[in-house]
C-alpha cells in the first residue's frame, strides 16, 4: 500500500516547509505541487506567450519538462533541463501563477504528472487541491490555515533578496487577490471541505505543526 498525506491550504500557510518536514520525519517522498505551477508559469513567461493565448499556453505546458531534484540542503527545479530555481518565487510569478493554474487543461496535465509521482511510493504532497482532486483517497488530508497578516509577513520575509521586493502591504494585497482567485475558480477551487483535518498555524512554530501532523498520522495508522 502506498501511503499518502495530502496537505492543502492558501498561499504562505506553511505548506511547503511543513510538508517537507513531515516527509523527512516519516522518511517519505515529498512533492510541492505549487512549484510545478510556478515552473509552468515561468516557462510561459520565458516563451513570450500572451496570457490570452490559451491554446498556446496549454501546448507549451504539455511540452515542458519539469524535474525536481531534492537532496539534503538543496532543492533544484529544472525546466527543460535548465535550473530555474531562483526565478520561481519572484513578484512576477506571484502575480501570474494563479492565471495559469486556473486553466482546466493546465491543471489536468499537471495533476496527471503529480499522480504519476505519487504512485512511486509513500509521499507527502502539498498544494491547493491535493486532498480534493489529486489524491482524494489519501489516508490523511490536512488543511493548513493562518491569518492573512501572518501569511503576508511570511511571504514578505521570503523575498528579502529579491530585486523587485514588494512592501508588506503590497504582499498582503496580493495574497488577498490570490486567495480570491483560488477560492472562486471553477475548476478545483480551494475550500475547507469536511474531510480535512484543519490546523491553524498562525501562532504555531514550524516544529509544532510537523509534530502535530506526524502524531495524528501515527495515532490513526
Per-residue pLDDT tens for 89-147? 888 998 899 889 889 999 999 999 899 889 888 999 999 999 999 999 999 999 999 99
- Helix, strand, coil proportions of the chain in percent (round to 5)? 50, 15, 30
Confidence of residue 42 (pLDDT cuts 50, 70, 90): very high
pLDDT of residue 74: 61
Model pTM score: 0.85
Question: Of 2-6, 28-32, 140-144, where does the model show the most confidence?
Answer: 140-144
| The pLDDT of residue 198 is above 90 | yes
Domain 4-32+89-215 matching CATH 3.40.50.300: the answer reads yes
pLDDT of residue 96: 92
pLDDT of residue 108: 93
- Residue 184 makes CB contacts below 8 A (sequence gap 6+) with none
Q: What 3-state class would DSSP assign to 176?
A: helix
- Residue 83 makes CB contacts below 8 A (sequence gap 6+) with 76, 77
Average pLDDT along the chain: 91
Alpha helices in 73-167 (DSSP H): 91-101, 104-118, 148-158
| The pLDDT of residue 160 is above 80 | no
Confidence of residue 1 (pLDDT cuts 50, 70, 90): low
Instruction: Count CB-CB contacts under 10 A for residue 38.
Output: 25
Instruction: Count CB-CB contacts under 10 A for residue 172.
Output: 18
Closest of 28, 27, 25, 12 to residue 125, by C-alpha? 28
Q: Which residue has the higher pLDDT, 188 or 162?
A: 188
Q: Please answer whether residues 125 and 28 qualify as being in contact, where contact means their C-beta atoms are separated by less than 8 angstroms.
A: no
Amino acid at each position: 500500500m502506498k501511503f499518502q498525506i495530502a496537505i492543502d491550504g492558501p498561499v504562505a500557510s506553511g505548506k511547503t516547509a511543513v510538508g517537507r518536514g513531515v516527509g523527512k520525519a516519516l522518511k517519505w517522498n515529498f512533492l510541492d505541487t505549487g512549484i510545478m505551477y510556478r515552473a509552468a508559469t515561468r516557462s510561459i513567461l520565458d516563451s513570450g506567450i500572451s496570457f490570452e493565448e490559451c491554446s498556446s499556453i496549454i501546448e507549451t505546458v504539455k511540452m515542458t519538462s519539469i524535474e525536481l531534484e531534492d537532496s539534503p540542503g538543496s532543492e533544484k527545479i529544472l525546466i527543460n533541463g535548465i535550473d530555474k530555481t531562483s526565478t520561481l518565487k519572484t513578484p512576477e510569478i506571484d502575480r501570474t501563477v494563479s492565471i495559469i493554474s486556473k486553466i482546466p487543461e493546465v491543471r489536468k496535465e499537471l495533476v496527471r504528472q503529480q499522480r504519476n509521482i505519487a504512485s512511486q511510493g509513500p509521499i507527502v504532497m502539498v498544494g491547493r487541491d491535493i486532498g480534493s482532486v489529486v489524491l482524494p483517497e489519501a489516508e490523511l488530508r490536512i488543511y493548513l490555515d493562518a491569518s492573512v497578516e501572518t501569511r503576508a509577513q511570511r511571504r514578505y520575509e521570503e523575498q528579502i533578496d529579491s530585486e523587485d521586493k514588494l512592501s508588506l502591504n503590497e504582499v498582503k494585497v496580493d495574497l488577498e487577490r490570490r486567495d480570491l482567485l483560488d477560492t472562486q475558480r471553477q475548476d478545483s477551487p480551494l475550500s475547507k471541505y469536511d474531510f480535512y483535518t484543519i490546523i491553524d498555524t498562525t501562532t504555531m512554530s514550524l516544529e509544532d505543526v510537523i509534530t502535530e501532523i506526524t502524531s495524528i498520522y501515527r495515532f490513526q495508522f
